[in-house]
Structure 1
Amino acid sequence: MASTFAGLSISSRGLFTSAAALEVTSNNISNANTTGYSRQVVNQKAVGPAAVYNGSYIGSGSEITSVTSVRNFRLDQKYWRESGQLGELTTKSDMLSQIEDVIGDTDDNSLTAVLDDFYSAMEDLSSDPSSSATRAAMKEAGVAVSEYLNTVSAQLTQLREDANNEVKTSVDQINSYASQIATLNTKIRVATASGSSTNELEDQRTLLIDELSSIVDVAVTKTVVGQLADGSDDIKLSVSISGSTVVNDGVAQQLAYSENDEGLYSIRWQDTGASFEATGGQLKASLDLRDGSGTDSEYKGIPYYLNQLDEFASTFAEAFNEVHASGYGLDGSTGIDFFTSGDSSSTTITAANMTLSADVLEDTDKIAAASAADDGSDNNKNMAALIELCEESEMFGSGTAEDFINSIISTLGTASEHAATMTSKQSTFVTNIDSRRASVSGVSTNEETANLTKYEAAYNASAQMISVWQEVYETTINMV
């Protein structure tokens, strides 16, 4: 026989179920713009019949079984994989753009323009080799060439230092995210075992993995390691970076870094001391930009462009000095170098230390415009030879000085354009994946508003049923 108050019990269950659904809907709406929040849904079921009444089984209403977050783990995995590629491409594209700004192009702010001014000064001096004004102009043009190379080298060196600091920052971030993920793993398993909700904790963990995936390539796996008391799977989550496990359930491995003689950071695993090689993400981009020399199929990073500028400075200065030293200055001096190394510890001329010789800086009469083969120190034979040298296509093997500079600019421009194009494509791809994730786990205010109306109607109906049963019981009691 059914309970005397079965109707009231059933209606009360409906009231509580609808109230819980309204609370979840309200929570979803309030978190519609919360980053990383996953839409939650109420799972309810009908309570089985408790008794037989006049030969019929009568149900006992409804009850909430759980409140779960809606996520698609496969889409998350795909997002994490592609996010690493986007992080790498974006970092390279941004840095190559900065290198372009430093080296310049073919406009007035480029080395080509500075060389053109230097050549013009040489032409003017050739036209009037005894003029102190043209000699001073050539000295200043030579200073401009040297200072331009010095400045570009210093700025590229600073960019390399920036990339090196990014390596350190990335390692610190990886360690922090790994520790936080491991802590959340422990909290989630404890909460799951006790029957508590883990939705918000899982959202926090997913958001941390999102952040981690842009820094280094990430692979996430879920493994069933047993059964919980309620019969559900006991799941362990692990995270790998560059093929090595960094988080195994509640345990996080840490990376460490150390500086070499140049102040560059190398990365290793803290517990084993084994070296760590990044294979994706912002960290790999920073390492490629910092270390890429362009040799043996290496990435053409900042060292490549520094080496190219050093080669230009060394080749140009040595060739120019050889011809200049063979000529005579206005004061009859000879054997004078025009360019020299500003580094007292090295005689090798580089873009960083290239400067005019002290002799030329102190006395422009020592600029060797005259040829030893001619009488008089005010002829222009040697200056004509220097002009011819700068126009030679064999100074750099297969091109002039300007050809060499233009090849550097062209290589950089091609690399930068390719990186920007690939970044744009990858960004679109990642955005599409993230949109698919949002369509599954994101909160739709329109959908939640519809749910609000639905659950409110159910709540009101249950409340009305309680009023009806109250009247029924009151009438029955009065009759008795």
Structure 2
Amino acid sequence: MSSTFSGISTALSSLRAQRQGLDVSGQNIANVNTEGYSRQRTEMSSVEGVSNVPTIWAKQDPVGTGVNVGDVTRIRDELLEARVRTEHGNNAYHSGQSQIYDSVQAVFKEPSDTGLQERLSSFWSDWQDLSNQPGDGAVRTKVMQQGGAVATGLNQAHTQLSTIYSSSHAGAAAQVKDINTAAAEIASLNKGIMQAKVGGLPANELADRRDALVLKLADLAGATATVRDTGAVDVSLFGSTLVSGTASRALALNGAETLSEQGANPPSLTFTDNGQPAIVTSGELGSSMDSLNTVLPKYAKSLDDVAAKLAATVNGIHQNGFDRNGDAGEPFYTGTDAKSITMSITDPDKVAASGSANGRLDGSNADALGDVATSGTGPDVTYRQLVADLGVTAKSATLKAETQSTITADLDSNHQSTSGVSLDEEMSNLLQYQRAYEAAAKLMSTIDQTLNTLINNTGR
């Protein structure tokens, strides 16, 4: 049977429980603007009577003995969080791809008055002018200058692509470093959370920090996570373990740091503990690896094709003609790629504008070179195909990034509505706990007065 003083114990348990509820609401309000903070809730349960096991000659009071705060839990939706991590990885990947295509488009600057297409058009036009004035030294000089401008444009485009490659490689190296740091910190936080759980200590703030790092890994590399019964999380990268309990692994970035070396030594990722390949196809790092191994080499190769076509076409026709002295034409360009192509001749008299060796300046060979502008197999066609492919692919990357950004934002909003702090709700909780605390205090005061009457006034 319950003691005469059990009511005081019941009231006291309520005072403690409501006070803890007030503390938890206060913690939520204090962290309303803290990134990664999860709303907490006080889990209360009623306390049963002294015993729920039947005994002979014993009668139990049907009324319980108060309230107990079992735990302070974080409000989380694990399924929603798993999807949030997946979409964050996709969003970071598509955003990175959109940015790299924007950078490549800035290299070619088409259409524009300063792009390579405009330089090529002016080059062929100057050949046409020379065909009409084959003996004019100024026109010959202009042809050479414009031919040099085309070669310089190819050189500059290659240099810019190389710069973008080096920057992307440095970015990938920084991302790998961030991944390794975050993985090690998650393992350390896992250890703290597991120890706290065993000792019955609170670990919600530790779990918030850890989950924020897991989301960071999703952004960086498309990482996924699995929660253990011990409170720890295991983190994986496309089937390979990155964090397991209190242990973490590290990644290493290997391969060429420059565009010119990429073909012979493509960048790759490995785990440092065993040298096995690490597959990353999502997140910022996934985008960086695709940029280094696919996007930039593709357009560098296309640019080299333009340079090779230009050199082969112009040299082929130029060497069929004759210069101002009646000598056979020499190669107009040297080099067969965008990095190395340059002017081969430096004397305007060496420009092979004539189609005959008899010293007569007929300009027919210059006319043939001018006609390259309308050739279906000339360098202009190769270059326009490059620009068209880049434009279509870049537009597709932008649309994917915009769509994925919307999806991610919607999920973040859903996640915030589930786990984030609502000031209106917390204000309501404060009032609820306050009234309950006041009622428990009134209960204790009433019982105290009752007992005072019983003890001091009975038997007079």
TM-score by length of 2: 0.91
Q: What is the aligned counterpart of 1:111 among 110, 116, 129?
A: 116
Alignment of 1:442-457 (within 5 A): 442-457=420-435
CA distance in 1, matches of 2:146, 2:228: 69
Q: What is the aligned counterpart of 2:179 among 174, 179, 191?
A: 174
CA distance in 1, matches of 2:448, 2:231: 47
Change in 2 beyond 3 A, CA 1:55/1:70: closer
Corresponding position of 1:351: 338
Q: Quick one: which amino acid aligns to residue 115 of structure 1?
A: L
Q: What is the aligned counterpart of 2:355 among 353, 368, 371?
A: 371
Instruction: Find out whether 1:98 has 2:82 as its counterpart.
Output: no
CA distance in 2, matches of 1:106, 1:46: 74
Corresponding position of 2:366: 383
Change in 2 beyond 3 A, CA 1:271/1:55: closer
**C-alpha contact 1:260 1:266 (8 A) present in aligned 2:** no
CA distance in 2, matches of 1:79, 1:73: 10
**C-alpha contact 1:129 1:379 (8 A) present in aligned 2:** yes
**C-alpha contact 1:86 1:423 (8 A) present in aligned 2:** yes
Instruction: Find out whether 1:248 has 2:244 as its counterpart.
Output: yes
Corresponding position of 2:55: none
Change in 2 beyond 3 A, CA 1:468/1:120: same
CA drift at 1:55: 8.4
CA distance in 2, matches of 1:143, 1:474: 108
Any idea what the Cα deviations from partners look like across 1:402-435, whole Å, max 9, x if unmatched?
A: 2221111111111111111111222222222222
Residue aligned with 1:350, SS: coil
CA drift at 1:334: 3.1
Residue aligned with 1:351, SS: coil
Residue aligned with 1:428, SS: helix
Any idea what the Cα deviations from partners look like across 1:282-330, whole Å, max 9, x if unmatched?
A: 22221221112xxxxxxxx111111111111111112211221232323
Corresponding position of 1:266: 268
Residue aligned with 2:70, SS: strand
**C-alpha contact 1:312 1:404 (8 A) present in aligned 2:** yes
Any idea what the Cα deviations from partners look like across 1:430-479, whole Å, max 9, x if unmatched?
A: 22222222222111111111111111111222223333344444444542
**C-alpha contact 2:86 2:224 (8 A) present in aligned 1:** yes
Corresponding position of 1:309: 303
CA drift at 1:33: 1.4
CA distance in 2, matches of 1:283, 1:438: 26
Corresponding position of 1:42: 42
**C-alpha contact 2:235 2:241 (8 A) present in aligned 1:** yes
Q: What is the aligned counterpart of 2:390 among 408, 412, 423?
A: 412
**C-alpha contact 2:89 2:220 (8 A) present in aligned 1:** yes
Q: What is the aligned counterpart of 1:72 among 57, 74, 77?
A: 77
Q: What is the aligned counterpart of 1:186 among 167, 186, 191?
A: 191
CA distance in 1, matches of 2:133, 2:329: 22
CA distance in 2, matches of 1:47, 1:174: 47
Alignment of 1:9-408 (within 5 A): 9-50=9-50, 56-224=61-229, 234-260=230-256, 262=261, 265-292=267-294, 301-341=295-335, 349-357=336-344, 359-360=345-346, 363-376=347-360, 378-393=361-376, 396=377, 400-408=378-386
**Higher deviation after alignment, 321-330 or 259-268:** 259-268
CA drift at 1:333: 4.1
**C-alpha contact 1:326 1:372 (8 A) present in aligned 2:** no
**C-alpha contact 2:119 2:150 (8 A) present in aligned 1:** yes
CA drift at 1:59: 3.0
Aligned residues with identical type, % of pairs: 30
**C-alpha contact 1:107 1:113 (8 A) present in aligned 2:** yes
Residue aligned with 1:71, SS: coil
Divergent runs of 4+, >6 A: none
**Higher deviation after alignment, 35-44 or 321-330:** 321-330
Corresponding position of 2:56: none
Corresponding position of 2:54: none
**C-alpha contact 1:242 1:280 (8 A) present in aligned 2:** no
CA distance in 1, matches of 2:74, 2:232: 18
CA distance in 1, matches of 2:415, 2:372: 63
CA distance in 1, matches of 2:83, 2:424: 28
Unaligned runs of 5+ in 2: 52-58
Residue aligned with 1:91, SS: helix
CA drift at 1:97: 0.9
Instruction: Find out whether 1:422 has 2:400 as its counterpart.
Output: yes
CA distance in 1, matches of 2:305, 2:383: 11
TM-score by length of 1: 0.87
Any idea what the Cα deviations from partners look like across 1:229-251, whole Å, max 9, x if unmatched?
A: xxxxx455311102111111111
Q: Quick one: which amino acid aligns to residue 249 of structure 2?
A: Q
Residue aligned with 1:201, SS: helix
Any idea what the Cα deviations from partners look like across 1:193-234, whole Å, max 9, x if unmatched?
A: 11111211111111111010122232322344xxxxxxxxx4
